[in-house]
Every structure is written in structure tokens, then in C-alpha cells.
């Protein structure tokens, strides 16, 4: 899952569906066909920048910006000016607590269960392999820079920034 930051009320323009364009170039569909049965051949694209983060990364960024994420609430809104002020403070704050190494948890690490098949009982390990991405300070600063581009647009055009 992910969370997108955007200016919901920003003007939108209609652009050709990128999947249809790609599939046509690859020869997977013919001219006039669509990438799937629900595609209209076009999509609405905001003229404002949009920023999308994974839920794990956005929770850290929201807390760094001073927003509460109690109970897993990863949605909200604010003005572009307020977001720029929060980004300024976040750039000058201690961000070392956001730095983490990538982690690999091998399959079968979630415990065991016993499975009975007829007269045979076997012990089966549970859990899929998990890859947990790390985070560097440079990645955090890049995310803040992406958010700042959106905040500048929102402030200059009088739009609210929403996320969720």
C-alpha cells in the first residue's frame, strides 16, 4: 500500500493512456484497441506535482513533519505554506532515528504449526521470506525535496495539500 500527496483541486488534463501507448508500440494490441476492458484510452493527470510513498516511509516522514500518525492514520491535509514551514524544520532537525539498514527475514521465521494428514503428523514452518527496505538520510532529504516541490506549487496556486 502507499500514500499519495497531491493538490486534489488542481486542474487536470487528459493524456493518452501510457499502458495503451506502450502495448501498441510493443505490438501487443492494434490501433484502436485498449490495454484492458475498462480503459478509455485516456487518463486524467494533475498539473500539480504528486508524491507517492510506501506506508512505512510515509509514517516516518509524517512524524518528522510533526503530524500525528496515531492509530495508523496516514491521511490529512494542510496548506502549502504550512507544509513548507514543516519541511524547513524537518531539514534542520535530527533525522538519525529514521536511518535503518535493510533487513532480510528468511521464510519459516513466523513459528511452526502441526499438520495432521491421516495418521501422519508433521511440523511445518510458517511465514514467507520478507525483505524490509532500509532508509538513508539522503533518501529522507530526497523525499522532503519532492514534497517541497508540491508545497511550492500549492502555495503559489492557493491549493490545499491532501494525503491518504
**Rounded to the nearest 10 degrees, what angle do helices 80-91 and 137-157 cross at?**
160
Domain ranges of the chain: 2-100+135-163, 106-134
Choose the weakest-confidence range: 39-43, 49-53, 126-130.
126-130
pLDDT of res. 64: 94
Alpha helices in the chain (DSSP H): 18-26, 55-64, 80-91, 137-157
By C-alpha distance, which of 53, 24, 76 is closest to 142?
53
C-alpha to C-alpha distances, 70 to 2, 13, 66, nearest whole angstrom: 17, 36, 12
Q: Which residues pair with 112 in a beta bridge?
A: 125
pLDDT, one tens digit per residue, over 92-131 is: 999 999 999 998 988 888 888 888 888 998 888 888 888 8
pLDDT-derived band at 85, boundaries 50, 70, 90: very high
Amino acid at each position: 500500500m502507499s500514500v499519495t500527496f497531491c493538490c486534489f483541486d488542481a486542474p487536470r488534463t487528459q493524456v493518452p493512456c501510457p499502458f495503451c501507448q506502450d502495448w501498441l508500440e510493443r505490438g501487443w494490441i492494434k490501433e484502436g484497441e485498449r490495454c484492458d476492458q475498462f480503459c478509455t484510452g485516456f487518463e486524467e493527470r494533475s498539473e500539480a506535482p504528486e508524491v507517492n510513498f510506501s506506508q512505512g516511509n510515509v509514517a516516518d516522514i509524517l512524524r518528522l513533519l510533526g503530524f500525528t500518525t496515531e492509530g495508523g492514520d496516514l491521511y490529512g491535509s494542510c496548506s502549502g505554506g504550512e507544509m513548507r514551514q514543516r519541511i524547513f524544520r524537518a531539514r534542520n532537525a535530527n533525522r538519525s532515528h529514521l536511518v535503518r539498514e535493510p533487513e532480510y527475514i528468511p521464510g519459516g521465521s513466523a513459528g511452526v504449526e502441526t499438520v495432521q494428514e491421516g495418521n501422519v503428523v508433521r511440523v511445518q514452518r510458517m511465514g514467507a521470506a520478507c525483505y524490509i527496505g532500509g532508509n538513508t538520510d539522503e533518501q529522507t532529504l530526497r523525499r522532503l525535496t519532492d514534497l517541497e516541490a508540491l508545497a511550492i506549487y500549492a502555495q503559489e496556486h492557493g491549493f490545499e495539500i491532501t494525503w491518504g
